[in-house]
Amino acid sequence: MAAASRSNEQGVFSGINVTPLVDIMLVLLVIFMVTAKLIVAQTMPMDLPKAQSGGEQQIVFAVAIAPNGAMTVDSKPIADGKQLLALARAAKAKSPDLRAVIAADTTVPHGKVVKAMDFLKQGGVAKIAFAVSPDLPEINSK
């Protein structure tokens, strides 16, 4: 068996040297680790909900804006943005981890939605999301 690993009597070793292979693998590992960090950093930042335990539930501050501009908070009609601001401050005082969800009709002008967001931010609600309905793709029957 010893003769199989040597090519001739002069002591030339014909085995595989794995040191360069290990060096290349370590370099590739470092490259993949760095690029994975960059790829993750380029994704869209999201504020994902945390797991709830026991009786705790996440409180959502629901703001709905109708096509005519009328607003409701948690299904209760409100008069104007000042009332929205007061309700947002009161809800934020009760729950520091308050989230707001704005559901606006597609015909509502952009400015009204931005004003509602501004009142929510002034009220201390920084976590704001928009309610959407899923748009299912149509199936072509051609």
The C-alpha atoms of residue 129 and residue 117 are separated, in whole angstroms, by 10
Give residue-wise pLDDT tens across range 123-134: 888 888 888 776
pLDDT digits 0-9 by tens, 104-118: 888 888 888 899 899
* Same domain, residue pair 66 and 28: no
Model confidence over 51-62: pLDDT tens digits? 555 455 667 888
Considering the domain architecture, whether residues 67 and 123 belong to the same structural domain is answered as yes
Domain that holds residue 107: 60-130
pTM beyond 0.75, yes or no: no
- Establish if 139 belongs to a structural domain: no
Q: Does residue 35 sit in the same domain as residue 89?
A: no
Question: From CA 114, how far away is CA 132, in angstroms rounded?
Answer: 16
**Mean pLDDT computed over 31-37:** 85
Q: In this predicted model, what pLDDT tens digit does every residue of 17-26 receive, in sequence order?
A: 888 899 999 9
Q: Could you give the number of structural domains in the chain? A: 2
**Quick one: pLDDT at residue 54?**
47
